[in-house]
């Protein structure tokens, strides 16, 4: 697995729209925003209104924390100091299994994989894993591959 | 909007050298770029009555430049933005001049993009020691995912997956733009590179290598827009603004990845408007510029703006198609990849010079429009440069375009 993230160099500052989301990860719940009017779900929670019906009457949906890798990058040159010891690490966009809507919309989220580059591929299933940080208020969601897929695609150049 | 086609012109261009570092303020550099653009147009500071700029909290403002140069302005506005903003401010200028708010406008960008504020949050010396992740950054910096390379890499990776394209297509773009830089005395990198050089360069963030990434520099650039009637009296034959689109957005544009395809970028929503305004087809275009923050951004803009079909850009750029003297020359100054990094306006400036037939190359008579077309002798002027399509890029989610023609078209 990649090296550790030095959370002493990364201060997460929740705000009025996101504090409940971070409270969610602390309670080991992966939340996405959900519209009370039309049911649409989205991420990240910085957006306080529904992009499908413009309602501001929004709630939370507790996702299973399971999904599939939609795309990924392998960060080789670190930019954020907290991640210097973690390179090379994989950041992925993940399609959540239980956030598919009738019109084809799928809620996609992003996060840091716990897996090595050689273990990650587009199409593979994965699940959220929670990681304690230096800040007792902040628990960081990471993602881990948890299965195989016939159509998995890996960047091999 | 069709009625505005050809009513407005770009009449002056100017820039500082690309520096690393400049050891200058953004105000000092902006004053140099603006005065050079004025001289290029044959205008005095008092002839300009409007000024706009774009920045990311990293630059001086129009009132500062106006104060320094003794200009009394009727309109001075500075907007937040990066790539695609220069072309958008040309659209603002057209609207403002049409409506009578001012008569002649200068647009500038001034940035210590290497020695000062760097894109993506890193410090000039390297990684950010301790970072505050607030606002949007909670959900990207928190995952160690901040820079344009890291973000665009995500759509590039999915593009490779979806289309079967390989990074050899990225290499084609790096090689083409570098070749053009070898013909540009102002460019930071002037040594030619090969596909193999690209493939051997070190990884920054997979799928991007070093030679996929642009050259951050300290620089200022300026362009001047005025009406056709005024343009005829100025120093150079006018370059006419035929059409464009201005900071057009995708759906779910901001830090939300649930739109149908990550690499269905903003240009897809804009190009019919621009080509319709201009009354042209892609076949009429002699050359292009594409915001090449990365090789991939050029690739995907060509596709998004209809120069090839969806998923076909990798094939489209093969065989040197984007090189001078080939089918569709791109970024003739070397672009961000090899000339330097100005958040887009340098491409507009190069396009203007090409359309005037006055590329500032190694030809002794370039200022009079005398070119040899001998690439080995350093000539980078196109033989036929009548019509160009310039494409600006903010993120995947934001794009601008400027279709221009010279007097010959």
Q: What is the ipTM of this complex?
A: 0.97
> Within an 8 Å CB–CB cutoff, is residue B200 touching chain A?
no
Going from N- to C-terminal start, the domains of chain A cover 7-145
Chain B CB contacts of A76 below 8 Å = 202-206
Average pLDDT over every residue of A2-15 = 95
| Weakest-pLDDT range from A111-125, B196-210, B394-408 | B394-408
Q: Which of A9, A13, A80 to mutate to test the interface with B (most CBs of B within 10 A)?
A: A80
Beta strands in chain A (DSSP E): 10-13, 30-35, 41-42, 58-63, 66-75, 89-100, 106-113, 125-132, 139-145
Quick: pLDDT tens for A117-146.
Answer: 999 999 999 999 999 999 999 999 999 999
pLDDT at site B1: 44
Per-residue DSSP letter, A38: T
A74·B158 Cβ contact <8 A = no
Average pLDDT over every residue of A25-48 = 97
Quick: pLDDT tens for A83-112.
Answer: 999 999 999 999 999 999 999 999 999 999
Give the separation between CA B189 and CA B209, rounded to whole angstroms.
16
Q: Shortest Cα distance from B267 to chain A (angstroms)?
A: 21
Chain A CB contacts of B133 below 8 Å = 10-13
Q: Across the interface, which of A46, A75, A84 has its CB nearest the CB of B139? A: A46
Going from N- to C-terminal start, the domains of chain B cover 2-114+215-405
Q: Nearest CA to B30 among B16, B19, B40?
A: B16
CA angle at B123 for the pair B122 and B128, rounded to the nearest 5° = 65
pLDDT at site A83: 95
Q: How far is CA B36 from CA B31, B85, B241, in A?
A: 8, 21, 21
- B65, B51 contact by CB (below 8 A): yes
Chain A CB contacts of B132 below 8 Å = 11, 13
pLDDT at site B334: 98
Is residue B277 scored above 60 in pLDDT?
yes
Give the separation between CA B121 and CA B111, rounded to whole angstroms.
15
> Within an 8 Å CB–CB cutoff, is residue A109 touching chain B?
yes
CATH of B2-114+215-405, picked from 3.50.50.60, 3.40.605.10, 3.40.47.10, 3.40.1390.20, is: 3.40.47.10
């Amino acid at each position: 697995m990649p090296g550790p993230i030095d959370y002493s160099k990364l201060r997460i500052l929740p705000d009025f729209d996101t504090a409940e989301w971070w409270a969610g990860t602390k309670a080991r719940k992966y939340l996405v925003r959900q519209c009370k009017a039309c049911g649409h779900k989205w991420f990240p929670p910085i957006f306080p209104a529904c992009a499908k019906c413009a309602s501001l009457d929004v709630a939370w949906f507790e996702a299973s924390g399971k999904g599939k890798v939609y795309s990924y990058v392998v960060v080789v040159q670190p930019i954020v100091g907290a991640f210097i010891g973690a390179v090379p690490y994989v950041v992925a966009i993940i399609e959540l299994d239980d956030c598919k809507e009738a019109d084809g919309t799928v809620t996609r989220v992003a996060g840091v994989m716990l897996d090595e580059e050689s273990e990650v591929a587009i199409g593979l299933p994965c699940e959220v894993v929670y990681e304690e940080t230096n800040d007792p208020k902040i628990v960081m969601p990471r993602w881990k591959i948890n299965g195989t897929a016939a159509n998995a695609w890996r960047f091999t150049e | 909007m069709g009625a505005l086609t050809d009513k407005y012109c770009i009449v002056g261009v100017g820039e500082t050298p690309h520096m690393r570092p400049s050891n200058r303020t953004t105000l000092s550099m902006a004053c140099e770029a603006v005065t050079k653009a004025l001289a290029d147009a044959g205008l005095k500071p008092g002839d300009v009555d409007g000024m706009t700029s774009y920045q990311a909290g990293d630059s001086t403002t129009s009132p500062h430049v106006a104060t320094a140069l003794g200009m009394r302005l009727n309109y001075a506005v500075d907007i937040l933005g990066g790539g695609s903003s220069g072309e958008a401010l040309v659209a603002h200028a057209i609207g403002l001049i049409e409506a009578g708010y001012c008569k002649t406008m200068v647009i500038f960008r001034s940035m210590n993009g290497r020695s000062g504020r760097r894109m993506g949050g890193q410090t000039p010396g390297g990684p950010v020691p301790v970072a505050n992740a607030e606002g949007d950054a909670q959900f990207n910096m928190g995952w160690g995912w901040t820079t344009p390379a890291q973000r665009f890499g995500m759509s590039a990776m999915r593009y490779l997956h979806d289309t079967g394209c390989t990074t050899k297509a990225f290499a084609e773009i790096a090689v083409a733009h570098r070749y053009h830089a070898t013909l540009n005395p102002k460019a930071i990198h002037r040594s030619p590179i090969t596909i193999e050089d690209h493939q051997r360069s070190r990884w920054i963030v997979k799928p991007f290598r070093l030679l996929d990434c642009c050259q951050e520099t300290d620089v200022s650039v300026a362009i001047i827009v005025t009406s056709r009637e005024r343009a005829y009296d100025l120093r150079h034959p006018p370059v006419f603004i035929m059409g464009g689109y201005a900071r057009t957005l995708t759906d779910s544009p901001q830090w939300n990845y649930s739109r149908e395809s990550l690499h269905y970028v903003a240009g897809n929503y804009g190009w019919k408007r621009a080509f319709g305004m201009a009354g042209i087809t892609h076949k009429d275009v002699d050359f292009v510029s594409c915001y090449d923050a990365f090789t991939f951004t050029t690739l995907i803009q060509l596709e998004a703006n209809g120069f090839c079909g969806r998923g076909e850009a990798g094939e489209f750029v093969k065989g040197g198609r984007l090189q001078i003297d080939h089918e569709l020359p791109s970024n003739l100054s070397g672009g961000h990849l090899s000339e330097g990094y100005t958040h887009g306006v340098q491409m507009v400036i190069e396009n203007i010079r090409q359309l005037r037939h006055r590329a500032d190359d190694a030809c002794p008579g370039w200022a009079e429009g005398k070119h040899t077309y001998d690439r080995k002798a350093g000539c980078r002027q196109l033989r036929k440069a009548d019509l160009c399509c310039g494409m600006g890029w903010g993120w995947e989610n934001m794009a601008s375009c400027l279709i221009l023609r010279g007097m010959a078209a």
